[in-house]
Amino acid sequence: MGGRINGKAAGLDATAEMAWQLGSISSGVAGAPANDVHINAWAGAFRAGYTMDVVPMKPRVGIEIDYASGDGCAGTGPGTAAAGGTCKAQGHFNTFDNLFPTNHGKFGYMDLMAWKNQVTYQAVFDVKPSPVSKLQVNVAIMRLANRHDNWYRASQAVYGATGAGNNSSSIGRELDVHYWHTFKEKFKFEIGAGHFWAGTYITNGQNTINGGAQGTPNGSGQNWGYVMGSILF
């Protein structure tokens, strides 16, 4: 169940969206009923911005807050962390399911976050140097909604398995810079670059990142970039 509303007025634009998941799922335990695990998860997104139409290059400043619930036991005790095994054993599954993810650019262009056990705060600034081009800068702060659940990447796969002793929700910060330009309405060119600064969830060494052993710090960040062209026909 869910809903979405958006609108524009006098340079202001805003979008709000919420979704609630309910029902049941099987724990997979031998002899247990088919629907013995209760699902209760939710997610929300809010975006607002202001465009200065009377200013050259029409700058826009905006903010965005995205949230998706996690569960308090997926990363503790026995069970399969990737499947929330411990939570299922306790009869509940409160981690929001991203279903069919199309997350690219929603929670950072580096695809480090799913709409799943996360809180993302973003600030956005863009200008239009010409009617057919745009330069955009995004800054995102990424956190876990529940530090006892796992870190899920855009594909929904477990990117960092949360250790039982994890005491941090800070995934890190991401900076993205993009430029788009259209030539003669048919050819579009874009270039982008990003940098990720690791938070204490990664650097405290209590969690498994990319298959690394727990107890070992896992680096300080990542760099990313791309160049792309497309032809419309």
CATH number for the region 2-231 comes to 2.40.160.100
Please state the rounded mean pLDDT for residues 4-25: 96
pLDDT digits (tens, 9 = 90+) for 21-59: 999 988 777 777 888 889 999 999 999 999 999 999 999
78 pLDDT exceeds 70?
no
CA distance 63 to 7: 15
pLDDT digits (tens, 9 = 90+) for 161-203: 887 778 899 999 999 999 999 998 889 999 999 999 999 888 8
Contacts of 113 (CB under 8 A, 6+ apart): 103, 107, 120, 142, 152, 153, 154, 171
